[in-house]
Amino acid sequence: MPLRRGRCGRKDGCHAPGGGASDAKHLERSAPDDGGVTPRLVPAGAPDDGGTAPSGGNDLALTIPRALSNFAGCCSAAWPPIRPPANVMDDTYARGPLLLLTGRANRPLAQEIGELIGKSPDAATVKQFSDGEIFVRIDRNARGRDVYIVQSTPAPAENIMELLLLIDAAHRASAARVTAVIPYFGYGRQDRKDQPRVSIAAKLVANLIVAAGADRVISIDFHQHQIQGFFDIPVDHLYAAPVITRYFRGLGLKDLVIVAPDVGSAKMARGTARRLDASLAIIDKRRPKANLSEVLNVVGDVEGMTCLIMDDMVDTAGTLTNAVYALKERGARAVYAAATHALFSGEAVSRLRDAPLEEMVVTNTIEVPEHKRFSTLRVLSVADLLAKAIDHVHSNESVTELFEEVSTDKE
């Protein structure tokens, strides 16, 4: 039986890749007597039944709708595939409305972010039962939404649990994407096994966030940059340095020296020194046990200079206040201090209040309650930074430009 011609006009099978005479299927229209309105897929060598054969049994003839008659089945040359322009990004999430949620860890910051992006964060109920269990409920429709959950995770551990429950609730409510906005990532200091039989808590918390259903994480100043690799989802790691340096540049301090409180903070201090056109000094210290440090030496010239101590967080303030006294003993004219995360645990507030500091500058990644505030404390807001990051992620734009100035200092 002779081979039948398909639309491509060939007798020896389809000329598309992989086609052959033995098994090629040619898209044909039915016999002229039906007006050519019933497209069929007919295998090569099948008898011509004029389009009357039933579709069941061994008959391989397959009718398809008229709407698909221009589909590039066997003749790819006749119907080239339609592709979007190469410069058009997928706007799947941008098409879904943005939904902003928050836990109870830092509602004032979430409220500031909401005002900047025009979305109220009051879309979830978070409360505790009498036995201490946490209950969360999303009070607005989350189906198909691009959901952002603002929740820092300092102590107590309920803050982490609230974040996990909110992520799970959004995921189960059929959100298109769930982004955890974590201004301060707790447990970040437990990022390695530095002694036998200890947990790597930072990795565990990252696993929990991913397992709960988060699709992306936005955070500010991880304690160690490798924490980004603990997540198996995209992470946008922002830096508070532009916020802090902008403030100190406005003060117009003269003879400025940026001081790293330990070797681990040297990279951050070096970048700040470059941006403020200042020199660099490093505190040489030892830590006999957790939350206790001793200053051994100051590397760099600080006599008669204005010193700015830079660190990523202030916990008990022992390291910071020891550095302040050491700098004063070596002739520093004035000492300022700045940190991204204000934990202020233990005796931190009393130590900072009594220390010879001109000003202690922190950001509001962690809410600082009134009873922990003192006269020399200055709190800067990172709401604008986070609001811009959320807006860029939602609209599928690059987040790099938000911290492009400081990215080379973190390498």
Q: Are 44 and 25 in contact (CB under 8 A)?
A: yes
Q: What dihedral do alpha carbons 142, 146, 150, 155 form, nearest 10°?
A: 80
CB neighbour class for 162 (10 Å; exposed up to 12, middle 13-18, buried from 19) = buried
Rounded-to-integer distance, Cα 177 and Cα 163, Å: 15
Q: How far apart are CA 256 and CA 161, in angstroms?
A: 43
Q: Which residue has the tokens 């003879």?
A: 255
Residue 405: CB atoms within 10 A of its CB come to 15
Burial class (CB in 10 A: 0-12, 13-18, 19+), 134: middle
Sign of CA dihedral 365, 369, 371, 373: positive
Distances (CA, A) of 252 to 258, 263, 278: 14, 27, 12
**Residue carrying structure tokens 């492009």:** 404
Give DSSP secondary structure letters for 265-328: GHHHHHHHHHHTT-EEEEEEEEEEETTEEEEEEEES--TT-EEEEEEEEESSSHHHHHHHHHHH
Q: Write out the two tokens for 221.
A: 């100043």
Active site residues: 285
**8 A C-beta contact, residue 339 and residue 312:** yes
Amino acid at 375: S
